[in-house]
Structure 1
Amino acid sequence: MPKVIRIAGPAALVAVAFIALILGLEYGGGATALLLEDPGPLVRFGLPIATLFVNLSASLTLGALLLALFVLRRDKPEFNRALDVAAAGAALLTVSAAITGFLSFLNVTASSASLDSKFGQILGQFLSSVPLGQAWLETTLVAAAVTVLCFAVRNLTALVFVAVLATLALVPMAQQGHAAGTDGHDAAITALFLHLLFSAVWLGGLLTLVLLVKQLDNARLVDAVSRYSTVALICFIVVAASGYVSAELRIGSLDRLLTPYGILVLVKVAALIVLGLIGAMYRRLLIRRLNDGQGRAMFWRIVVAELVFMGVASGVAVALARTATPIPEVLPSSPTPAEILTGSPVPPELTYGNFFTQWNFDLLWLLICGFGIFFYIAGVVRLRSRGDSWPMYRTVLWVLGMLLLVFVTNGFMNVYEKYLFSVHMMGHMILAMMIPILLVSAGPVTLAMRAIKKRTDGTRGAREWLLLTVHSRVGTFLANPIVAAVLFATSLLTFYYTPLFRWSTTDHIGHEWMIFHFLIVGYLFAQALIGIDPVPHKLPYPFKLLLLLATMAFHAFFGLTLMTGSGLLLADWYGSMGRAWGASAIADQQAGGGIAWSIGEIPTVILAIVVAIQWGRSDAKESKRLDRNADRTNDAELNEYNAMLQRLDKTR
């Protein structure tokens, strides 16, 4: 019976997804023939069906890789079987992405397939020059590379990079569809990417469990289901949050829920709620029954039910992408320069009152900070529940650092940084200098090492991966104080005087990369100076102060260069916004240099004070240690020293 269900479960998923897709297309009008330049029924129905298989195959690839990295044992057949599943999923993704790209071309051009040279030339131009064609070509090539790597790579650490590469295959997909045309372009791309990624991990992890259950004895199945249920809970939260953001951008108000698009959203929400209830059954009932050796039958019933509702959600999701949104995607007839450059009009004039009233929410950083606060506090609670202590001030510093990160990435700085260089520089200074001081002082690595349970079954969990990262050659190299200081100082020149600055300003993905980069570089520098987490290299305190002063002098020089410079960075961007308020672009850039020089000195003073305090405490501890040693040995070292002086005196 289990063998039949192992086949019937995935088959039910595909069948239900297909039915839900066809019904969704018919109800939402996604497959209705166009009055002009209709591509034909083969394209109208074939394109969403191919997209469905893209989503399912990407899920299988990512889910199998996740289980291989975090759940399965490398010395058991289950590990190699999971990689074979990932390779099969990536191969299917390669084929389905290629078909989707080809059908997208036929849909856009409303042409028929042909073998003549002109058709091939136009197709080549579509794949190489048109963003939609480039996206599907990139996805196809990445999927093909992942297919080969899943067969070739068996090293667990190297598989991390394979999983990252597989994740990158979703980025071009997230940049297409409704996300490319909504008013909140950046928010739509972020929400869609998160939705695709976490729903893929959720669905793919379950599918892989079903395919591998024969290789798992009862104890291993309990571990696998327990770990998967934790991942599934995180996925549920992210999918729900990203789905809400996407629906808000495309529906806007409750009265539009009664439109075809809104009804399909409600169907998907209902499926998500049922999946959440099934997840609760995992944690409250199934795992306990499996522990007692009596839950296999219940496991199969729950899995099949979950796959059916995942099929509903998957099919409706693809149908939604082909359904017209209630909010029409209308381009302004006479766009302003700011609308041409950024996709949005210039915000209202920046005043002190706007510091806390202007917000531009970034779901990625809201989720990162939310999970960061939750898991940190959960770790503290776990320590205290077993009788261990953890200083309260560290928890306060961590929460403050995360809240400040939320404000920088979602508040007025995220609204105005595209239009004012000075605001961008203010955010840069806080990201690279202020937030890392708070986070480093909270000792997150030490807390994780003490709070996360150590695995003893040969698999790697969060604790094992964190230890591996910290003690790796790359981690050791980056943690070197000299290297951290050089990275911190040279990042300014590398970023602002290379194409990286343009990329981070004009492209949403570049903007997210910029935030990660300055956070990490600032964290490494602060850790080298005042960190309480263990590191392989520690400088003496006098050298720490010298390193701080030298680095900050370079920082101040950069700020003064901007203050006195007359050349405008990104003149075709900051100088072309058409702002009717505020200082000129060059004056604003000079103000940004003043911010880099003046505000940057505040964290410098804080770092210097903390280093001095730690130095004083270190000397006090050393004095106490010497006093205790003297009391224990009756001043043996001092007596030996005095005896040596007497011997030297006698020899004169």
Structure 2
Amino acid sequence: MGHHLHEHGHATGGGTPDWLPPALLLLAASGAYLLLVRRARRRNPVLGWSPWRTGFFLGGMLLLGVALLPPVAPFAHEDFRGHMVQHLLIGMYAPLALVLAAPVTLLLRTLPPPRGRHLTAVLHSPPARVIAHPAVGLALSTGGLAVLYFTPLYNAISDDPAGHWLLHAHFLLSGCLFAYAVAGPDPAPARPGVRARLVYLGVAIAAHAVISQLMYGGFRVDVHAPVDQVQGGAEIMYYGGDLAELLLAAALVATWRPEPRRVAGRGAWRGAAPVRDVSGGS
């Protein structure tokens, strides 16, 4: 792989360390979330906002910071194993934490009613229903890995600063989309039932295992890196991906709500007691 100063925290162009912009962006996102939490608590002191959800969001920001800042960022540029650590943090662990923070619910609690209704309408729109389906998140996140590592794409963008950041954005957005579709506590009108989501999660687990095993064996892998680095990266994907997917499965169980049943002849809705939300229940 190439060696670029911008990946090692050195000054670029105007003398600003390259790690400073992402650090400031993460701090700004954390500050914006905390500001919305404060507003939500002021608007409805009784309902408040779960500290668990706030903790999840800040934890997600911390994971992104670990992935995007030194020492992991320089290691990721020099060693394929570091890249795979970055991939897991940005594409699997941080998205799950951010999704469990329920940012859409927080927005709905803090936006003025007209804007809240507009956001709700967007969530119920046909494009949003398609995008929020687990199949789309699965194709973008897991399917994207096959395209990245079994075509020349990875080598083409590894030495391109813009392509590098676009890859990070893809990991994060596709990971958030899949975690939201499978186990997000935020409203998702088109989300399928628990059994269907478990099937999609199972497919993701199997696909990750196959990709990592093919990578370890060197079968059609197109990554310009030493063999030991590629095999080490494959092991990191295999075991680290398994752990992330187990956490996602746990989140699915913890955020599950049974669907109400209509009692025949009475017209009343009856369901089992709701399962407590992993985010703290508010």
After TM superposition, the score normalised by the length of structure 1 is 0.37
Q: Which of 359, 383, 386 in structure 1 is aligned with 2:40?
A: 383
Q: Which of 509, 533, 537 in structure 1 is aligned with 2:162?
A: 509
Q: 1:452 to 1:636 in 2, by over 3 A?
A: closer
Give the drift of 1:370. Answer: 1.0
**Cα deviations across residues 527-579 of structure 1 (Å, max 9, x unaligned)?**
011111112311111221121111110111101111122777443xx3xxxxx
Q: Which of 145, 161, 173 in structure 2 is aligned with 1:520?
A: 173
Q: 1:247 to 1:483 in 2, by over 3 A?
A: closer
1:553 aligns to 2:206 (yes or no): yes
Report the Cα distance in structure 2 between the residues aligned to 1:568 and 1:607, rounded to whole angstroms.
28
Confirm or deny: 8 A CA contact 1:436 1:519 kept in the other structure: yes
Give the drift of 1:603. Answer: 1.0
1:399 aligns to 2:58 (yes or no): yes
Q: Which of 73, 92, 115 in structure 2 is aligned with 1:414?
A: 73
Residue 370 of structure 1 corresponds to 27
**Cα deviations across residues 120-148 of structure 1 (Å, max 9, x unaligned)?**
xxxxxxxxxxxxxxxxxxxxxxxxxxxxx
Report the Cα distance in structure 2 between the residues aligned to 1:428 and 1:506, rounded to whole angstroms.
16
Give the drift of 1:187. Answer: 8.2
Report the Cα distance in structure 1 between the residues aligned to 2:118 and 2:152, rounded to whole angstroms.
33
Q: Which of 135, 142, 145 in structure 2 is aligned with 1:489?
A: 142
Give the drift of 1:426. Answer: 1.3
Alignment of 1:64-213 (within 5 A): 184-185=5-6
Residue 610 of structure 1 corresponds to 251
SS at match of 2:92: helix
Report the Cα distance in structure 1 between the residues aligned to 2:11 and 2:157, rounded to whole angstroms.
15
**Cα deviations across residues 311-344 of structure 1 (Å, max 9, x unaligned)?**
xxxxxxxxxxxxxxxxxxxxxxxxxxxxxxxxxx
Confirm or deny: 8 A CA contact 1:441 1:531 kept in the other structure: yes
Give the drift of 1:449. Answer: 2.2
Q: 1:468 to 1:508 in 2, by over 3 A?
A: farther
Confirm or deny: 8 A CA contact 1:479 1:528 kept in the other structure: yes
Q: 1:471 to 1:500 in 2, by over 3 A?
A: farther
SS at match of 1:411: coil
Report the Cα distance in structure 2 between the residues aligned to 1:190 and 1:530, rounded to whole angstroms.
41
Unaligned ranges ≥5, structure 2:
269-282
Confirm or deny: 8 A CA contact 1:190 1:363 kept in the other structure: no
Report the Cα distance in structure 1 between the residues aligned to 2:163 and 2:11, rounded to whole angstroms.
12
Give the drift of 1:521. Answer: 0.5
**Cα deviations across residues 167-195 of structure 1 (Å, max 9, x unaligned)?**
xxxxxxxxxxxxxxxx8446899976xxx
Q: How well do the aligned residues superpose, as a CA RMSD in angstroms?
A: 3.1
Report the Cα distance in structure 2 between the residues aligned to 1:492 and 1:190, rounded to whole angstroms.
32
Give the drift of 1:526. Answer: 0.2
Report the Cα distance in structure 1 between the residues aligned to 2:181 and 2:61, rounded to whole angstroms.
20
Q: 1:371 to 1:466 in 2, by over 3 A?
A: farther
After TM superposition, the score normalised by the length of structure 2 is 0.82
Alignment of 1:297-336 (within 5 A): none
Confirm or deny: 8 A CA contact 1:444 1:533 kept in the other structure: yes
The one-letter code sitting in structure 2 at the alignment partner of 1:564 is G
Report the Cα distance in structure 2 between the residues aligned to 1:440 and 1:606, rounded to whole angstroms.
12
Confirm or deny: 8 A CA contact 1:420 1:588 kept in the other structure: yes
Residue 595 of structure 1 corresponds to 236
Unaligned ranges ≥5, structure 1:
1-182, 193-245, 250-360, 456-460, 575-584, 639-652
Confirm or deny: 8 A CA contact 2:80 2:233 kept in the other structure: yes
The one-letter code sitting in structure 2 at the alignment partner of 1:595 is I
Report the Cα distance in structure 1 between the residues aligned to 2:89 and 2:72, rounded to whole angstroms.
11
> Relative contact order (alpha carbons < 8 A, sep ≥ 6): 1 or 2 greater?
2
Residue 531 of structure 1 corresponds to 184
**Cα deviations across residues 74-119 of structure 1 (Å, max 9, x unaligned)?**
xxxxxxxxxxxxxxxxxxxxxxxxxxxxxxxxxxxxxxxxxxxxxx
Confirm or deny: 8 A CA contact 1:568 1:586 kept in the other structure: no
* Greater helix proportion: 1
Residue 425 of structure 1 corresponds to 84
Residue 274 of structure 2 corresponds to none
Q: 1:374 to 1:467 in 2, by over 3 A?
A: farther
SS at match of 1:543: helix
SS at match of 1:417: helix
Report the Cα distance in structure 2 between the residues aligned to 1:428 and 1:526, rounded to whole angstroms.
15
Give the drift of 1:468. Answer: 7.4
**Cα deviations across residues 20-60 of structure 1 (Å, max 9, x unaligned)?**
xxxxxxxxxxxxxxxxxxxxxxxxxxxxxxxxxxxxxxxxx
Confirm or deny: 8 A CA contact 1:568 1:589 kept in the other structure: no
Report the Cα distance in structure 1 between the residues aligned to 2:238 and 2:149, rounded to whole angstroms.
15
Report the Cα distance in structure 2 between the residues aligned to 1:188 and 1:637, rounded to whole angstroms.
64
Report the Cα distance in structure 1 between the residues aligned to 2:31 and 2:216, rounded to whole angstroms.
41
Report the Cα distance in structure 2 between the residues aligned to 1:190 and 1:478, rounded to whole angstroms.
39
The one-letter code sitting in structure 1 at the alignment partner of 2:24 is L
SS at match of 1:398: helix
The one-letter code sitting in structure 2 at the alignment partner of 1:497 is F
Report the Cα distance in structure 1 between the residues aligned to 2:198 and 2:206, rounded to whole angstroms.
12
Residue 93 of structure 2 corresponds to 434
Give the drift of 1:378. Answer: 0.3
Report the Cα distance in structure 1 between the residues aligned to 2:154 and 2:113, rounded to whole angstroms.
42
Report the Cα distance in structure 2 between the residues aligned to 1:468 and 1:188, rounded to whole angstroms.
43
Report the Cα distance in structure 1 between the residues aligned to 2:174 and 2:95, rounded to whole angstroms.
9
Report the Cα distance in structure 2 between the residues aligned to 1:593 and 1:529, rounded to whole angstroms.
25
Residue 476 of structure 1 corresponds to 129
